[in-house]
């Protein structure tokens, strides 16, 4: 193939927000994922079969039993508790309960873990609660402490667990947390919690390794919260942001459409702080009166409470301290408003067969634009009665399907709505995607960059998966993890490279000849004096590429990042996390007419200096 670039002839600007993040509570993305809470089922959900993830501890002659108390809890939002009766216990023979965490608990040496629990004494004088991190296999106590004396009122007890050097074989995730008594008595317990050090040391914060990985993608925005999670199966199970604010004991939790309960520890303010920590912008998704099982609220008076709720939400994000919801945000510890340019009205409303979205979008649009004319409002599907500012397109495809649609946006009307590709992925490989998917994704990104006058934003989905058995509801994800470690699919690195090496303008260019499985995109940054050329070889053979770069005086050396695979099935995994990662090299003897060979199954970024 010959690729000709006219570096001094910009065709259009690159959208400055092109690459971003989309997440939702799926595949244990927050609970058991980014949200660093280590205790699973901390609100003691239970049914006839028991309390998932909680079991008895009876050491030696220690004896205990527990059951649910549906009527006694520390707050109206958490009105139930675990009722623990210890009938026999002493210092050598403690009894109580243990929690096995989200597929274990990662315990590291010389680390401080902070936590708390609500408790009140129902009967007897049980004294203090002993809180310990214990190795599953050896029974060794890795860190331990006691609470203050328990008493008859509901009270929150704080604790700190500090590990020292750990015994050989104890570093890992095969650990659990125990709450035991050393005197008989009956106590009600609620909201046990334990956090490791978090990203930027935020209380109630995020896992540092996963935040580092997100930062490594060089994103510009977070669609929050995206996907089905926003809608819920039924309206009562939507992401009801007002129920996710404030102290954890004031968050009732809710069932999510991916069939597990969300702790709502990742609430609206935590989402916003996440954007702040990555120095990115929220793209706020508001519930728009349609839920997955088909319930919809027609435009008009019935929809008004939801529209008002969205207006309140926007005020919570952007309002100053003199506004009602800005003042509430201030009380919650964040006086500074967050930046906001985009609001998305609903999610995948094309599935609403009633046709109510047209009216719903229009009503939200009217009310939001009146209060916030500067905001861009994203429709989740085309509407007939008006022209939305932006439309959210979703693509889940095989690499071959992406290859076949790379010209989809080339001829689209530039006077209509802008495009947000709010969810997209090449779904090849599981749990995370493979090298074939990396090629499909990279090819699609070349077309998005070429059309980035139209496509204002794009975000891959799903971003996260907990790779433990039962952790995945949707295969083909970007970042995999267990309690202890995390890794990126090959495509993670392709996306990181595409976002890191992105110019401000798309110059004139063309490709002639060569394989139809060789793709490219080129952007320039005149201020930085750079040309970024992305090349994708979707074939299994080396591909010669003649690079003709006109309109620039090029430095003799260019920097190259190469992501190559031996087969399309090759991939990264929890046990082989860095099999396919970018390899840096230097291209010497650069001139305006360069013969280059692209290795098979490869994504390459070449940075030329001008
Ligand atoms: O990303 C997985 C799901 O795909 C999202 O929840 C939904 O919006 C889409 O159908």
How many A from CA of 227 to the centre of ligand 1? 5
* 183 and 158 within one domain: yes
Cis peptide before 431 (omega within 30 of 0): yes
ipTM: 0.99
Q: Angle at the Cα of 486 (from 481 to 490), degrees rounded to 5? A: 100
Closest CA to ligand 1's atom 2: 462
Q: Are residues 283 and 170 in the same domain?
A: no
Determine the pLDDT at residue 498: 98
167 and 91 in a common domain: yes
434 in a structural domain:
yes
Same structural domain, 223 and 333:
yes
Q: Do 334 and 250 share a structural domain?
A: yes
When pLDDT is cut at 50, 70 and 90, the band that residue 159 belongs to is very high
pLDDT of residue 169: 76
63 alpha carbon – ligand 1 mean position (Å): 47
Sign, CA dihedral 383-384-386-389, equals positive
pLDDT at 167: 81
Does the C-beta of 228 come closer than 6 Å to ligand 1?
yes
Backbone φ and ψ of 587, nearest 5° = -95, 120
Tell me how far the alpha carbon of residue 228 lies from the centroid of ligand 1, in angstroms. 6
250, 190 Cβ separation under 8 angstroms: no
pLDDT per residue over 502-557, tens digit each? 999 999 999 999 999 999 999 999 999 999 999 999 999 999 999 999 999 999 99
Whether residue 73 is contained in a domain is answered as yes
DSSP H/E element including 114: strand 112-124
Nearest atom in ligand 1 to 423's CA:
1
Q: Which atom of ligand 1 is nearest the CA belonging to 425?
A: 1
CA distances to 157, 452, 517, 522, 545 from 528, rounded to whole Å, are 54, 20, 31, 15, 26
CA of 567 to the centre of ligand 1 (A): 28
Q: For residue 470, is it within any domain?
A: no
Looking at the 3D structure of the chain, how many domains does it have?
A: 3
pLDDT of residue 146: 98
Domain CATH number, residue 290: 3.20.20.80
Looking at residues 366-385, what average pLDDT do you find? 97
Structure tokens at 444: 């699609």
pLDDT at 69: 82
Pocket lining: 474 vs ligand 1, CB cutoff 6 Å: yes
Q: 423, 462, 477, 478: which to mutate for ligand 1, most atoms within 8 A of CB? A: 423
Q: What is the pLDDT of residues 16-36, one digit of tens each?
A: 999 999 999 999 999 999 999
Cα(282) to ligand 1 centroid in Å equals 19
Tell me if 190 is assigned to some domain. yes
Same domain, 155 and 223: no
Same domain, residue pair 509 and 492: no
- Residue 187 and residue 237 share a domain: no
Both 451 and 326 in one domain: the answer is yes
Distance between CA 577 and CA 102 in Å, rounded? Answer: 21
CATH of the domain at 116: 2.60.120.260
Cβ-proximal residues to 145 (8 Å cutoff; 6+ apart), any chain: 130, 131, 132, 159, 160, 161
**CATH label of the domain that carries residue 568:** 2.60.40.1180
What span, in angstroms and rounded, lies between the C-alpha atoms of 436 and 354?
38
Instruction: Work out the mean pLDDT of the chain and round it to a whole number.
Output: 97
120 pLDDT above the threshold of 90: yes
The pLDDT value recorded for residue 239 is 98
- Our answer on whether the CB atom of 347 is closer than 6 Å to any ligand 1 atom is yes
Do both 240 and 371 map to the same domain? Answer: yes
Say if residue 358's pLDDT is above 90.
yes
Look at residue 168 and tell me whether its pLDDT is greater than 80: no
**pLDDT, tens digit, 9 for 90 and up, residues 420-451:** 999 999 999 999 999 999 999 999 999 999 99
Determine the pLDDT at residue 119. 98
**Residue 525 belongs to a domain:** yes
Please check whether residues 57 and 187 belong to one and the same domain: yes
Could you tell me if the CB of 227 is within 6 A of ligand 1?
yes
Q: Residue 317 belongs to what domain range? A: 22-36+201-391+403-456+481-500
Instruction: Give yes or no: residues 208 and 236 share one domain.
Output: yes
Query: Among residues 195, 230, 252, which one ends one of the domains?
Result: 195
- Reduce the DSSP state of residue 32 to 3 states and report it: coil
In a domain, 468, yes or no: no
pLDDT of residue 127: 95
Residue 395 has a pLDDT of 98
* 462 within a domain of the structure (yes/no): no
Determine, yes or no, domain membership for 397.
Answer: no
Least confident of 82-96, 158-172, 281-295, 457-471: 158-172
232 lines ligand 1 (CB under 6 A): no
């Amino acid at each position: 193939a010959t690729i000709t670039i006219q570096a001094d002839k910009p065709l259009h600007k690159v959208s400055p927000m092109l690459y971003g993040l989309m997440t939702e509570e799926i595949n244990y993305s927050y609970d058991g994922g980014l949200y660093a809470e280590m205790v699973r089922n901390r609100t003691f959900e239970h049914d006839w079969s028991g309390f998932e993830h909680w079991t008895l501890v009876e050491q030696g002659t220690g004896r205990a039993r527990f059951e649910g108390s549906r009527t006694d809890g520390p707050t109206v939002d958490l009105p139930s508790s675990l009722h623990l009766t210890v009938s026999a216990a002493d210092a050598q023979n403690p009894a109580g309960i243990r929690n096995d965490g989200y597929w274990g608990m990662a315990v590291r040496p010389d680390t401080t873990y902070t936590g708390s629990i609500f408790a009140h004494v129902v009967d007897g004088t049980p004294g203090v609660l002993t809180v310990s991190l214990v190795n599953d296999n050896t029974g060794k106590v890795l860190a331990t402490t006691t609470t203050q004396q328990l008493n008859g009122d509901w009270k929150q007890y704080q604790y700190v667990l500090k590990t020292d050097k750990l015994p050989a074989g104890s570093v890992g995730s095969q650990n659990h947390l125990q709450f035991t008594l050393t005197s008989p008595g009956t106590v009600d317990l609620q909201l046990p919690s334990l956090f490791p050090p978090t990203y930027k040391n935020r209380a109630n914060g995020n896992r540092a390794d996963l935040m580092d990985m997100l930062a490594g993608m060089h994103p510009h925005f977070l669609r929050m919260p995206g996907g089905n999670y926003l809608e819920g199966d039924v309206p009562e199970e939507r992401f009801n942001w007002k129920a996710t604010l404030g102290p954890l004991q004031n968050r009732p939790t809710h069932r999510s459409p991916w069939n597990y309960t969300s702790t709502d520890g990742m609430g609206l303010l935590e989402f916003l702080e996440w954007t702040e920590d990555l120095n990115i912008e929220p793209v706020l998704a508001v519930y728009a009166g349609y839920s997955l099982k088909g319930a919809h609220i027609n435009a008009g008076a019935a929809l008004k409470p939801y529209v008002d709720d969205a207006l309140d939400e926007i005020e919570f994000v952007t309002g100053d301290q003199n506004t009602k919801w800005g003042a509430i945000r201030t009380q919650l510890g964040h006086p500074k408003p967050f930046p906001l340019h985009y609001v998305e009205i609903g999610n995948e409303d094309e599935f609403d067969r009633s046709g109510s979205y047209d009216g719903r979008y229009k009503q939200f649009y009217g009310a939001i634009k009146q209060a916030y004319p500067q905001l861009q409002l994203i429709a989740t599907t085309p509407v007939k009665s008006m022209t939305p500012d932006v439309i959210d397109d979703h693509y889940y495809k095989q690499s071959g399907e992406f290859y076949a649609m790379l010209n989809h946006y080339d001829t689209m009307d530039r006077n209509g709505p802008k495009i947000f590709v709010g969810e997209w992925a090449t779904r090849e490989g599981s749990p995370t995607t493979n090298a074939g998917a990396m090629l499909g994704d990279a090819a699609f990104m070349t077309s998005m960059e070429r059309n980035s006058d139209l496509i204002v934003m794009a975000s891959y989905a799903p971003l996260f998966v907990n790779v433990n058995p039962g952790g995945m509801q949707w295969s083909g994800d970007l970042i995999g993890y267990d309690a202890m470690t995390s890794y990126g699919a090959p495509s993670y690195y392709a996306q990181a490279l595409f976002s890191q090496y992105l110019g401000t303008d798309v110059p004139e260019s063309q490709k002639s000849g060569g394989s139809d499985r060789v793709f490219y995109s080129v952007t320039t940054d005149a201020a930085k004096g750079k040309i970024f050329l992305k090349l994708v070889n979707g074939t299994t053979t080396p591909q010669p590429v003649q690079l003709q770069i006109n309109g620039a005086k090029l430095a003799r050396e260019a920097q190259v990042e190469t992501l190559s695979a031996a087969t399309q099935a090759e991939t990264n995994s929890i046990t082989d996390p860095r099999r396919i990662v970018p390899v840096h090299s230097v291209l010497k003897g650069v001139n305006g007419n360069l013969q280059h060979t692209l290795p098979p199954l490869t994504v390459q970024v070449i940075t030329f200096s001008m």
